[in-house]
């Protein structure tokens, strides 16, 4: 991440604090849900019985540290085989788009996500961990879907 981007990120944390929220569910489940920037959707999931059927539900706000966190999590919790990516994208960051780009294309020699259109798509996780993510996790693209009932219908497929 560049110095200016890092400074802006720190300033945003002070001016507009956004809690990095996630909720744990059933540790034996192979399904995770990423609600991107949709906090109300995340809260609906966290306050429902669906949490008994999924491993974790959380947000993804950035195309770098956030994706690093997801890749680290699935490497440490290898029961996760499916991540349902839903909710609204973070304006300007396109974190969901970058998550799918790294899953499909990986990173280049500078650890930049290949074919990402995000402004700062650089990861710090190892290529080995990225390869595990690519080879062992299925992403389900429901980006922009915020209807809780529709998302529940998709989860029941898995």
pLDDT for res 3: 59
Buried b (16+ CB within 10 A) or exposed e, 54-90: bbbbbbbebbbbbbbbbbebbbeeeebebbbbbbbbb
pLDDT for res 5: 54
Higher pLDDT, 11 or 57: 57
Q: What tens digit of pLDDT does each residue of 76-119 get?
A: 999 999 999 999 998 888 999 999 999 999 999 999 999 999 99
pLDDT for res 132: 98
Closest CA to 44 of 149, 114, 158: 149
pLDDT for res 10: 54
pLDDT for res 114: 97
Q: What tens digit of pLDDT does each residue of 12-64 get?
A: 445 444 555 899 999 999 999 999 999 999 999 999 999 999 999 999 999 99
Residue the block writes with tokens 């788009």: 97
């Amino acid at each position: 991440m560049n110095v200016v981007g890092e400074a802006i990120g720190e300033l945003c944390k002070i001016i507009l604090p956004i809690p990095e929220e996630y909720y744990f569910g059933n540790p034996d489940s192979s399904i995770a849900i990423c609600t991107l920037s949709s906090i109300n959707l995340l809260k609906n999931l966290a306050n429902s019985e669906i949490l008994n059927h999924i491993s974790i539900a959380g947000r993804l706000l950035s195309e770098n540290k956030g994706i690093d966190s997801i890749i680290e999590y699935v490497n440490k919790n290898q029961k996760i085989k499916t991540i349902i990516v839903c909710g609204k994208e973070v304006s300007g960051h396109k974190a969901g788009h970058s998550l799918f780009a790294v899953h499909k294309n990986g990173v280049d020699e500078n650890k930049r996500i290949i074919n990402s259109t995000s402004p700062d798509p650089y990861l710090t996780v190892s290529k080995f961990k990225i390869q595990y993510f690519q080879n062992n996790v299925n992403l389900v693209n429901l980006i922009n879907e915020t209807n809780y009932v529709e998302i529940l219908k998709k989860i029941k497929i898995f």
